[in-house]
Amino acid sequence: MKALEQSLVGHVRAGLLCVAVALFAACGGSGNDGKPAENPPLKFQVVSFGDSISDVGSYAPVAQLVGGGRFTTNPGQVWTQDVANFFGGTLTAAQTGGYGAPVQNHADGLGYAQGGARVTDPNGISFKANGLGALTVPIATQLQNHLAAHGNFNDGQLVLVQGGGSDILIHAGAVVAGSETSADADQAVTLAAQQLAAIVGKILQSGAKHVVVSNVGNIGVSPRGVSDASLGSLLTGLSSTFNSALTNALQAAGIQNQVINIDQFAFINDVLAHFKEKGFQVSNTGTGCNLQLLSKEIEVSSLFCSPKTYTVPDADQTYMFADEVHPTTHLHSLFATLVEQAVQAANK
């Protein structure tokens, strides 16, 4: 247990702005990754809420100084950007700053997701009240900020919602540290899932007609999870608890059939089972970013990863994971394709 505690606490202290969901890692889908060559008939303006998996550049002012900018194998895009491109637009950060950079709001930015963000708690992964850490504006506040700046949603917008990974990682860390029991953690992530469902309900009430809701990927099968069997089991269990609670809450609210549901948990498991067929050489046994080189940066995270810190020159395409929890460019592309196909099917 002590070894497990040292393992997870060390990772948390390293501040991997993972959004736990990172495991949605089964991402991908653009250009040479199997995306249809022709332009889709649908056109949408994308609005995105979530954590590091969806973050399009909240911390870019600092991370770009070393070639980073997003939680992946930079300069590659994350899935939300790929989806926005596919449906005829672009997606930029609504707010930037953190790690000592001043906070700036961008009126034309509709990418509200921030690395480390939780569902409702502002104290996310790597957050520091003095401004020297991550911003981690919670998803509930991300939505409030959008409504305050732009009013209701419109029929021409596609709203992407994902979250919960950061909550899972934080509570898993508490279990390992002994400050929470497993039952405490289950209760906490269940509440987070219910709160995310309530946020989805608010989005629908605010006029959104096209809403994608992704559950959490199987974090236990990420490189972080497979590094320790006990830790992996804990993370998989909490991921499953969150996903079940999210489904139940959406059903209880009568809105599950009003949104496009994406099963990230099943997707990552499937990609792992067929990773070579998907074009990868390394699944969850290594990271595309050299973590030893990244240790020289502010945090050991793919946020600061660039081609000069790749494990191998083509790691962005041949590895599934950029760091211990976040997907590579190719993985993001695959996940984007899944989402794009689901959106098109829902709008036939």
What is the Rg, in whole angstroms, of the alpha carbon atoms belonging to the chain?
A: 18
- Return the pLDDT at 198: 98
- Residue 41: per-residue pLDDT: 72
Domains of the chain: which residue ranges?
2-346
Instruction: Tell me what pLDDT residue 11 has.
Output: 42
Two structure tokens written together for 289: 């970013």
| CATH number of this structure's domain 2-346 | 3.40.50.1110
Report the run of H or E that residue 88 belongs to, with start and end: none
In this prediction, residues 138-148 reach a mean pLDDT of 98
Residue 55: the pLDDT is 98
Average pLDDT, the chain: 91
pTM (2 d.p.): 0.90
**Is the model's pLDDT at 277 over the cut of 60?**
yes
pLDDT at position 40: 55
Question: In this predicted model, what pLDDT tens digit does every residue of 10-43 receive, in sequence order?
Answer: 443 344 344 434 444 333 334 444 454 455 579 9
pLDDT of res. 24: 45
pLDDT of 8 strictly over 70 = no
Judged against a pLDDT cut of 70, whether residue 6 lies above it is answered with: no
Q: What pLDDT shows up at residue 29?
A: 39
What's the whole-number mean pLDDT along residues 316-327? 98
Whether the per-residue pLDDT at 337 is higher than 90: the answer is yes
Kindly report the backbone phi and psi dihedral angles of residue 232, in degrees, each rounded to the nearest multiple of 5, phi listed first. -60, -40
* Per-residue model confidence as pLDDT tens digits over 219-263: 999 999 999 999 999 999 999 999 999 999 999 999 999 999 999
- CA quadruple 282, 8, 336, 107: dihedral, nearest 10: -140
Compute the average pLDDT of residues 273-282. 98
Rounded Cα gap, residues 11 and 5, in angstroms: 10
Let me know how long the chain is: 348
Strand partners of residue 214: 162, 262
Q: What is the pLDDT of residue 7?
A: 44
**From the CB of residue 90, how many other CB atoms can be counted at a distance below 10 Å?**
14
pLDDT of residue 16: 39
Q: Model confidence over 167-224: pLDDT tens digits?
A: 999 999 999 999 999 999 999 999 999 999 999 999 999 999 999 999 999 999 999 9
